[in-house]
């Protein structure tokens, strides 16, 4: 992020440029629309976009080679703004555009207070505006009418909130962390996230296995009917029923293996293949599924 002043205005430039020098990918490029209200948020005193720019720099800095570890230890984060754990839509779009490590963002948000309420007390605001000096209100209206200055609304709201102690002020109760501490915390968040994902996948596999075993148990209770269903499906001489018959045969093979009667399954499969060997489409499906005669 770079900033400069011109004609009394502060200009901010958020940029993320790839180091590989590749051309812009129009399929995944960002449009301006999601970012347009960032200006209003900044003007209203919301400092989260500024902190996000610093996090983006830290994300890139971590990837650089030959960085002295002492630099990470000595570099402190900016004051942490409130509401970092619950970004607005434009702020999340900015975080995505700046390619901020989501685990780093989660770690940084741990030191952030709750987002300030955006509710505006109309009566209190009206009283505050009435108390503004007349010449200041005249100047604001003149600039707005001529379009020579940004719309005064966000800046006025920021001043009002600051005066009523409801602005999105940085957290002061928590000390500022070093870049090294934040990177270590991001690693812990990433590790915990990976552990939870692995645990969830293990639970899903276990649930699938239990469902599979329950299905086979029900099928084993009436295996003869299953064999008859296979014959009926094959008799339809259609691709869809063929596929269903093959799936059912694979289940029957597993049932016979569990019961210790694989020889019986092999015999019945051999008979079935001999009976329908003229059906090339079925034979191909059986072979592809590993259902071959022994």
**pLDDT tens string 149-159:** 667 777 777 77
pLDDT for 273-290, tens place per residue?
999 989 999 999 999 999
Render pLDDT for 93-111 as a digit per residue (tens, 0 to 9).
999 989 999 999 999 999 8
Tens digit of each residue's pLDDT (9 = 90 or more) over 217-240: 999 999 999 999 999 999 999 999
Q: Which residue has the higher pLDDT, 294 or 22?
A: 294
Residue 116's pLDDT band, with cuts at 50, 70 and 90, is: low
Q: Using one digit for the tens of pLDDT, what is the confidence trace for 186-202?
A: 999 999 999 999 999 99
In terms of DSSP bridges, do strands 9-13 and 2-6 run parallel, antiparallel, or are they unpaired? antiparallel
Which pLDDT score, from 0 to 100, does residue 27 have?
55
CA distance from start to end of the chain: 70
Q: Which long-range contacts (CB under 8 A, 24 or more apart) does 283-286 make?
A: 285/242, 285/243, 285/246, 286/246, 286/249
Supply the pLDDT for residue 156: 79
pLDDT at 294: 61
Question: Measured in whole angstroms, how far is the alpha carbon of residue 263 from the centre of its chain?
Answer: 51
**Predicted local distance difference test score (pLDDT) of residue 228:** 94
Cα separations in angstroms, 280 against 80, 98, 214, 242? 70, 57, 33, 11
pLDDT(245) > 80? yes
User: Does residue 97 contact residue 59 with C-beta atoms inside 8 Å?
Assistant: no
Q: Which of 3-7, 163-167, 170-174, 210-214 has the highest mean pLDDT?
A: 210-214
């Amino acid at each position: 992020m770079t900033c400069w002043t011109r004609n009394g205005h502060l200009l901010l430039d958020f940029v993320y440029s790839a180091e590989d020098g590749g051309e812009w990918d129009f399929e995944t490029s960002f449009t301006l629309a999601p970012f347009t209200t960032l200006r209003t948020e900044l003007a209203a005193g919301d400092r989260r976009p500024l902190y996000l720019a610093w996090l983006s720099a830290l994300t890139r800095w971590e990837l650089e080679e030959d960085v002295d570890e002492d630099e990470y230890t000595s570099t402190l984060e900016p004051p942490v703004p409130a509401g970092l754990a619950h970004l607005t839509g434009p702020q999340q779009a900015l975080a995505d555009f700046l390619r901020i490590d989501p685990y780093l963002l989660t770690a940084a948000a741990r030191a952030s207070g709750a987002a300030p309420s955006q509710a505006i007390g109309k009566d209190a605001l009206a009283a505050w505006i009435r108390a503004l000096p007349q010449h200041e209100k005249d100047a604001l209206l003149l600039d707005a009418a001529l379009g020579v200055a940004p719309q005064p609304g966000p800046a006025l709201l920021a001043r009002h909130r600051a005066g009523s102690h409801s602005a999105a002020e940085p957290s002061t109760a928590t000390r500022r962390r070093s870049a090294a501490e934040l990177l270590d915390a991001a690693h812990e968040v990433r590790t915990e996230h990976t552990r939870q994902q692995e645990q969830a996948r293990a639970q899903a596999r276990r649930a699938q296995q239990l469902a599979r075993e329950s299905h086979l148990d029900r099928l084993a209770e009436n295996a003869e009917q299953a064999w008859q269903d296979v014959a009926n499906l094959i008799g339809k001489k259609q691709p869809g029923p063929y596929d269903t018959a093959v799936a059912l045969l694979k289940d029957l093979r597993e049932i016979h293996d569990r019961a210790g009667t694989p020889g019986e399954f092999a015999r019945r499969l051999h008979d079935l293949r001999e009976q329908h060997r003229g059906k090339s489409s079925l034979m191909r499906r059986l072979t592809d599924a590993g259902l071959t005669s022994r």
